[in-house]
């Protein structure tokens, strides 16, 4: 039997209107534009405003745009995987709400949680359903309303994160699409990047709220050290095992957490920065949305057949890389 590849056949994104600039952050915490730009590369990020709005309110317009761009009837979609760390509710899954909001009446949907590596893990998971021959159209969404779990009195974390959503369509292809992946997890990361309460170990209480334990806790320097080596290493390993020399790599699509991590990863795989998708300056770290948001913004620059390496690192720790051949030339 001929091998079936899972190809990305379309991509769409959504960013909220509100722009939170470094200047505005200067009025909220002891920081300054120069420090933020020098240490992270971030100039501004988007924030989803509005009482009662959640991650699905960004994911739904992204998926609707994806359906329109790919000329897909909602009823033809088989599966939607929502990769998020900030679901609308603990349950039911945000994927259910996205499917309902976009008319995916014949699809089933679920959420996948792997912090900043979530979209990579979700893309790999969605690809299995295509490669097995079981399904023809799978949507993978990466979406996070990070502002809902950020402490805007903690200058070390509030400067980094932003809100966004982006989605890709996966369909069968005879020769283009996902070629290989390598993913890892290691619970050594637990103390350094987590939300301390709100889960089953420490359910919400007055004490956990008073202690600010429902927000992102990050020991940035430790996370940085692990991210800076692991992203580059896993991407390089994947290239080596697929006999992909750096000269044949057309694009590196890294998770957007810190410009210095992006540059170190590019150096490790040996690609020049003009072949690296970077939009961290505009959106900051949108967790599950960073990689599809890059695909969305750089879609027109990719050529059919281009070799792309996607790579991410995040809480858990989780990290990984995907090697894929881009499947279309955007109009
Ligand atoms: O996406 C998931 C994975 N997450 C990441 O990959 C994030 C990885 N970590 C990072 O990107 C960086 O560690 C940060 C951007 C979070 C922090 O940058 P850093 O260069 O590692 O700073 P640091 O935490 O080591 O702090 C250095 C100094 C400290 O001051 P002292 O103790 O040296 O006086 C901090 O208090 O910088 C200070 N600082 C700030 N100063 C101005 C921390 N945040 C700020 C700030 N403005 N916003």
156 Cα nearest atom in ligand 1: 44
User: Cα(49) to centroid of ligand 1, in Å?
Assistant: 26
**Same-domain pairing of 163 and 215:** no
**Same-domain pairing of 214 and 259:** yes
CA atoms of 47 and 284, how far apart (whole Å)? 11
**Same-domain pairing of 12 and 160:** yes
CA atoms of 205 and 83, how far apart (whole Å)? 27
Contact between 282 and 290 under an 8 Å Cβ cutoff? The reply is no
User: Cα(156) to centroid of ligand 1, in Å?
Assistant: 5
Phi, psi (deg, nearest 5) at residue 220: -55, -40
User: Cα(259) to centroid of ligand 1, in Å?
Assistant: 13
Q: Is residue 190 part of a domain?
A: yes
Runs of H (alpha helix) within the chain: 22-26, 33-40, 56-69, 94-102, 118-131, 155-158, 206-210, 220-241, 259-269, 280-283, 290-298
CB within 8 Å of 271: residues ≥ 6 apart: 246, 249, 252
Which domain CATH number covers 18? 3.40.47.10
pLDDT tens per residue across span 281-291: 999 999 999 99
220 Cα nearest atom in ligand 1: 13
Question: Ligand 1 within 6 A of 194 CB?
Answer: no
The H or E element containing residue 184 is strand 177-185
Measured from the Cβ of residue 245, the count of other Cβ atoms closer than 10 Å reads 10
Question: Ligand 1 within 6 A of 221 CB?
Answer: yes
Q: Is residue 89 part of a domain?
A: yes
CA atoms of 311 and 304, how far apart (whole Å)? 20
**Same-domain pairing of 187 and 226:** yes
- Residue 237, pLDDT score: 98
The H or E element containing residue 6 is strand 5-14
Q: Is residue 330 part of a domain?
A: no
- Residue 1, pLDDT score: 75
**Same-domain pairing of 223 and 166:** no
Q: Is residue 215 part of a domain?
A: yes
Q: Is residue 43 part of a domain?
A: yes
Q: Is residue 275 part of a domain?
A: yes
155 Cα nearest atom in ligand 1: 48
Angle at 252 between CA 242 and CA 327, to 5 degrees: 70
Measured from the Cβ of residue 251, the count of other Cβ atoms closer than 10 Å reads 21
- The catalytic residues are 116, 255, 285
- Residue 331, pLDDT score: 81
Question: Ligand 1 within 6 A of 119 CB?
Answer: no
**Same-domain pairing of 171 and 22:** yes
**Same-domain pairing of 136 and 200:** no
Residues of the chain with pLDDT under 70: none
C-alpha radius of gyration, the chain, whole number = 19
**Same-domain pairing of 141 and 204:** no
Contact between 182 and 309 under an 8 Å Cβ cutoff? The reply is no
Q: Is residue 270 part of a domain?
A: yes
**Same-domain pairing of 171 and 217:** no
Residue whose structure tokens are 């429902």: 214
Contact between 59 and 14 under an 8 Å Cβ cutoff? The reply is yes
**Domain boundary pick from 175, 202, 221:** 175
**CA nearest 310: which of 324, 299, 297?**
324
CA atoms of 319 and 203, how far apart (whole Å)? 27
When divided into structural domains, the chain yields a total of 2
Domain hosting residue 34, numbered range: 5-175
CB within 8 Å of 273: residues ≥ 6 apart: 263, 266
**Domain boundary pick from 159, 175, 191:** 175
**Domain boundary pick from 175, 203, 223:** 175
CA atoms of 257 and 5, how far apart (whole Å)? 30
Contact between 162 and 47 under an 8 Å Cβ cutoff? The reply is yes
Q: Is residue 285 part of a domain?
A: yes
Look at phi and psi of residue 325 and say left if phi exceeds 0, alpha if psi is from -120 to 50, else beta: beta
DSSP of 79-111? EEEEE-SS-SSSSS-HHHHHHHHHT-TT-EEEE
**Same-domain pairing of 220 and 296:** yes
Pocket test for ligand 1, best of 156, 159, 188, 288 (most atoms within 8 A of CB): 156
**Same-domain pairing of 48 and 133:** yes
- Residue 235, pLDDT score: 98
**Same-domain pairing of 197 and 83:** no
pTM: 0.97
């Amino acid at each position: 039997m001929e091998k079936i590849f899972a190809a990305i056949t379309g991509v769409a994104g959504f960013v909220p209107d509100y722009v939170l600039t470094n200047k505005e952050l200067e009025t909220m915490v002891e920081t300054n534009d120069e420090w933020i730009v020098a240490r992270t590369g971030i100039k501004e990020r988007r924030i989803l405003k509005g009482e009662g709005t959640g991650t699905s309110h960004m994911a739904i317009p992204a998926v609707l745009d994806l359906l329109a761009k790919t000329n897909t009837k909602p009823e033809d979609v088989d599966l939607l995987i929502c990769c998020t760390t900030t679901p609308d509710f603990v349950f039911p899954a945000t994927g259910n709400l996205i499917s309902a909001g976009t008319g995916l009446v014949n699809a089933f949907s679920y959420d996948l949680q792997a912090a900043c590596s979530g979209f990579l893990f979700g893309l790999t998971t969605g690809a299995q359903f295509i490669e097995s021959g079981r399904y023809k159209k799978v949507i993978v969404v990466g979406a996070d309303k990070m502002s809902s779990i950020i402490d805007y009195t903690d200058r070390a974390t509030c400067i980094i994160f932003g809100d966004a959503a982006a989605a890709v369509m996966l369909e069968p292809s005879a020769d283009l699409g996902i070629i290989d992946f390598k993913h890892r997890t290691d619970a050594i990361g637990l103390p350094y990047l987590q939300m301390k309460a709100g889960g089953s170990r420490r359910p919400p209480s007055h004490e956990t709220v008073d202690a600010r334990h429902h927000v992102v806790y990050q020991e940035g320097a430790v996370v940085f050290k692990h991210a800076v080596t692991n992203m580059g290493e896993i991407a390089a390993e994947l290239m080596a095992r697929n006999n992909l020399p750096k000269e044949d790599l057309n694009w590196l699509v890294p998770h957007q957490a810190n410009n210095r991590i992006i540059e170190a990863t590019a150096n490790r795989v040996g690609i020049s920065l003009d072949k690296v998708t970077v939009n961290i300056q505009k959106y900051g770290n949108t967790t599950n949305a960073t990689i599809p948001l890059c695909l969305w913004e750089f879609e027109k620059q990719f050529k059919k057949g281009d070799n792309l390496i996607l790579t991410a690192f995040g809480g858990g720790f989780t990290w990984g890389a995907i090697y894929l051949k881009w499947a279309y030339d955007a109009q």
